[in-house]
Every structure is written in structure tokens, then in C-alpha cells.
Amino acid sequence: MPGIFDEFPRYITQPFSVLPSSQEKKEIVGYFSFPDDFSGFQGHFPGNPLLPGIVQISLARFTAAQGGGDLIQHIKRCKFVNSIKPRDKITVKVKQQSGSHHYQAEISANNKVCSVLTFSMQP
């Protein structure tokens, strides 16, 4: 899906929030909504469009980097539990361990958890 990641800024529905959740972690929250014609839905699946897992992982990366181009180095754990459809209100919550490049992310749509992952970004 060349260029799909360049589309993310167009679908941010609110500015990123950076919240101190404790002395050891900070939380970054991103809000997104993708229309029916978002290229990430093409072919996944005809007649029943779902946001692919790779796009969800990329949303976590994009949120952790607050729109920057930092890359994921390692995914330790990733679980998809519910589907994300066009026009859903997506919330991406990413917690960063203080002073590290390790993150935990929870992605929800319409207040329902859809995926969780633990990952590291390149330093």
C-alpha cells in the first residue's frame, strides 16, 4: 500500500494529546476516522471493508511518533479483537516507558477495544 501512511494526517480528527500518566510513563492519544474511500480499505474485504492490521499497527507508530517518521524496530505482542470499519471513531492510546523506546498501544473504535500491541521504536 504505497503512500497509505502519508494519508494519515488528513484523517486526524483532533490534535494529539500528551498526558503524563505517571512518573514512569507518558500517554499519547490520537483520534482518527477514515472514510469509505480510504485506500487502506481497498480489497480488505470487498462488500465488508475492515481496517487491516498493518494499518492499525501503523496508527500506533504514527501516534507514538506524533506524526513523525520514526520506525518500529520490534513488535513484542499484538492482538486483534474487534473490527474497525469505515467512519468509525478511532482512538489510539500509546503509553511510553519514560526514557525508553518501548510502547504499549490500545486502539479502539467507537469506545470498543479493537487491538492491543507492545512495540519498540528505533532510537
For 5-58, write each residue's pLDDT tens digit: 788 999 999 988 988 766 667 899 999 999 999 999 988 888 999 999 999 999
Strand-by-strand arrangement of the 102-109 sheet:
12-20, 25-32, 90-97, 102-109, 112-121, 72-80
* pTM, full prediction: 0.91
Could you identify the residue written with the cell 500517554? 27
DSSP E strands in the chain: the ranges are 12-20, 25-32, 72-80, 90-97, 102-109, 112-121
The pLDDT of residue 22: 64
Q: What are phi and psi of 62, to 5 degrees?
A: -60, -40
* pLDDT for residue 118 is more than 70: yes
